[in-house]
Every structure is written in C-alpha cells, then in structure tokens.
Amino acid sequence: MLVALVVYVTSWTGWLIHANDYEKSTLSNSQYVTYDGGKARATASRDDAEGIGEVTQSLHSLWDYHRAVYNFHAHFLNDATHVYASKPAGWLLMARPLGVDVQLDIKPDTRGCDAPAGSTCLRQILLLGNPLIWWAGALALGFAVIRWLGGRDWRFGVAVVGVGSTRLPRMMYDDRPIFLFYAIASLPFVVLALTLAPGSIVGTSNVPTPRRTAGVVIAGSYVVLAVIAFAWFWPVWTDQLLTHDEWLRRIWFTRWI
C-alpha cells in the first residue's frame, strides 16, 4: 500500500512542482470551488513557502484537487444522463463504446473519398476495445475464478482481484454517467488472465502430447485472430477515412454507433 501511494503521488510531480500555477487557474473556476465544498485552500491566496513548507503546501493543494474531483463524481452527477454512458456490468463485453469524434457526409471525390455515387465517407474515433481481447478476457476471468478457488493458484487470484477492485467500486456510482474507458484500469489484469489461461491449456510439460499440440494450436490461433482484429478496427480507432459500407462492417452492433 505504501509503495502504491508513493508511486501515485510521484506521478503527480508536475502538479507538485507547479501547484501555484494550477491553483491560480482552478480558483478562477467557480465550479471547482463548488466541487471543493467551498473550502479550496490554494497556495495562490498565500505566500509561497520555501523548503519543507512548500512541499507541504503542494501536497495540500493536490489533496484539495482530489477532494474536488471526488465530490464532483460522487455528488454532482447523480441521475444525469449521457448518450454514451455505460454500466460497469457491461464493460468487459463492450456493450457501449464511446464516440470521441466523427466527420460525416464526406462526398465522393472529396478529401480522398472513393465511395460510390449515392454514398458517402466518414472519419471516426471510437473508444472501442479489441473485441477478441475483451470478450476472450471475460471468459479467461471466469476460468481464473475456477483455478483460483478450485486449484488454489494465487496467480489467477491476482487477475480476479485486480479486475474486481478496479471495476466493482464503479458499480456504487452507476446511477450517473460513467464510460467504457474507465475500464482501462482493469486491462492489465484482463491481459494477465488471458496470459495464464492459454498457459494452462498448453501445460507445463515440454513432452509432445496431443493435449499440448492442441493447446499450442488454440493459443496460437487466438493470438493471430487478435492481431487481425486489431488491424480490422484500426481505422475507427485512428480517424481513418472509410466509406459508409466499410464503416458498417466494423460496427457489429447498433449500440456501437
């Protein structure tokens, strides 16, 4: 816990060094003061200390900011709605991705569009995970639960606890808009489950057996398919020009629109 705290605070070094500059901008924002409960304690309103005192002020500033962020997300968004909001229960299945940007109705022979007459092109940035990673990851996590509880293998427990600790708390606040990209915190543990599951299928023995051969084929085929899926969805991740038909072939469900 202590190591995690030190690493996290260190990741905010930019804020700690320039806390006064950040606070000058945030204090001018009335919403920030509201989210902070009217108790914003900014070094901008006091003389900058030196030495240890400056460190204390900067840490205090960072604490105020985190409190404001928490208050905003916990109390100021209740019962709000958003077209791209998604429930944590559907994150592993990517039930509702997030559209970031879209340019519609690009006419044929315009800006490189080679769509047939009567159709158009578009560009889109869609925050959608690789389906073969996330969907297979959901299955791998189910397998991890069995191996952890039934086989007492702590490695699978790391994956299960990691996903649970980064996802279940969000369910406490699913009455406000939260989005698929929040699931990124779970991704390392999903990948861990995906790594452990094929390893169990292949087995630990180097002696060729029908089971090992089948496991290698299954695991290898999955990796190839995941790479192909990555290439397939690349255009909607990176704002590439697509005809309308090319775009529809990548939007597998209406909830992805």
Q: Tens of pLDDT along the chain (257 residues)?
A: 789 899 999 999 998 888 877 777 666 555 555 565 555 544 445 555 555 657 788 888 888 888 888 887 777 777 778 899 999 989 999 999 999 999 999 999 988 999 999 999 999 999 999 999 999 999 999 999 999 999 899 999 999 999 999 998 888 878 888 899 999 999 999 999 999 998 888 877 777 888 888 889 999 999 999 999 999 999 999 999 999 999 999 999 999 99
Rounded to the nearest angstrom, the gap between the alpha carbon of residue 101 and the centroid of all alpha carbons in its chain is 17
* Residue 185 and residue 166 in contact, taking contact as beta carbons nearer than 8 Å: yes
Domain locations in the chain? 2-75, 83-257
Selection from 97, 115, 98 nearest residue 106 by Cα? 115
Give the C-alpha separation, 133 to 140, whole Å: 10
Q: State the distance between the two ends of the chain, measured CA to CA, in whole angstroms.
A: 40
Selection from 130, 129, 151, 131 nearest residue 196 by Cα? 151
Structure tokens of 220?
A: 């290898």
pTM of the model: 0.77
